């Protein structure tokens, strides 16, 4: 990598904590961007008021309010949107002020919305719905932050150490695991290890523009359900009916739990990235 000093927001999260360790192992100095007062040379405070990015070669922006930690009330949706738009706007402005060369900004597979059987690449247009609108607004704030701007569209990040997979594993262990809806929806996903490796790869290869961070072999929700049950030695119970999922307010169940997006990581493939877990079989069995 050519950017030897890298600033990371969201550095204590599931992806950020591992990414920071990976980057330091490779010899890079990593500056954690923190909301509280900085306590050492490897921390700097940031917020909507700005951030000192002097001497920083690249910024990886991962911070944002979780979309899955609460029901989507109108107030909750506003917090989700503002945390992404306002935070990205602040860091993008700081990047411009301090001539940062590369801005890597997290976005999400929700950019594409619910697309059924359509094959989606980075060239596909955005979808509709709350998550798609959030992602579009989020990405638009990053566009002119630096000479190179990588917009990372994360699929669901699977890790046994946290996030949605750890929650689902607990349900399966208590015999409560079940597929969602009819199970035919495509589930964009990537392993924790591959997500962090792909972020480092994007820095190293200076990939500009949108970048899908998903596994190259797409999986339907019913396949995920069957493999989880087999991995954990539990019976594969019937589905949670779609009408029950749709009872969650604000579109939470419809958009998060049963939408379908068959996403191909075309640009990562073209650039030569090698996945550790290219399919669910290599990850879950």
Domain boundaries, the chain: 5-158+190-215+264-275
5-158+190-215+264-275 belongs to which CATH class? alpha beta
- Mean pLDDT value across residues 260-282: 97
Phi/psi of residue 248, each to 5°?
Answer: -60, 135
- Mean pLDDT value across residues 187-210: 96
Q: Quick check: 3 pLDDT over 60? A: no
The most confident of 119-128, 165-174, 179-188, by mean pLDDT: 119-128
Contact 263, 218 (CB under 8 A): yes
The DSSP output letter for 5 is: E
Q: How far apart are CA 224 and CA 275, in angstroms?
A: 18
Q: How far apart are CA 45 and CA 43, in angstroms?
A: 7
More confident residue, 275 or 167: 275
């Amino acid at each position: 990598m050519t950017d030897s000093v890298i600033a990371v927001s969201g550095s204590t999260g599931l992806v950020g904590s591992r990414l920071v360790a990976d980057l330091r192992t490779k010899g890079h100095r990593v500056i954690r961007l923190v909301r509280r007062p900085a306590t050492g040379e490897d921390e700097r405070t940031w917020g909507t008021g700005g951030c000192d990015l002097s001497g920083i070669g690249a910024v990886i922006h991962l911070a944002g309010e979780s979309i899955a930690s609460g029901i989507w009330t109108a107030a909750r949706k506003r917090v989700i949107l503002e945390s992404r738009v306002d935070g990205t706007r602040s860091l993008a402005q700081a990047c411009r002020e301090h001539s940062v060369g590369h801005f890597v900004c997290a976005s999400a597979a929700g950019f594409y919305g619910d697309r059924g059987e359509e094959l989606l690449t980075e060239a596909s247009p955005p979808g509709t719905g709350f998550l798609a609108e959030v992602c579009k607004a989020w990405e638009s704030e990053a566009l002119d932050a630096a000479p190179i701007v990588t917009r990372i569209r994360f699929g669901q990040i699977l890790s046994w150490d946290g996030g949605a997979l750890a929650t689902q594993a607990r349900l399966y262990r208590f015999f409560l695991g079940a597929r969602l809806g009819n199970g035919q929806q495509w589930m964009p996903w990537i392993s924790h290890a591959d997500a962090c490796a792909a972020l480092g790869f994007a820095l190293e290869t200076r990939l500009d523009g949108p970048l899908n961070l998903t596994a190259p072999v797409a999986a339907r929700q019913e396949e995920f359900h069957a493999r989880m049950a087999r991995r954990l030695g539990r019976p594969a119970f019937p589905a949670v009916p779609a009408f029950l999922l749709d009872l969650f307010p604000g579109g939470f169940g419809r958009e998060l739990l049963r939408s379908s997006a068959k996403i191909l990581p075309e640009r990562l493939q073209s650039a030569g990235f090698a996945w550790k877990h290219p399919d669910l079989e290599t990850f879950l069995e």
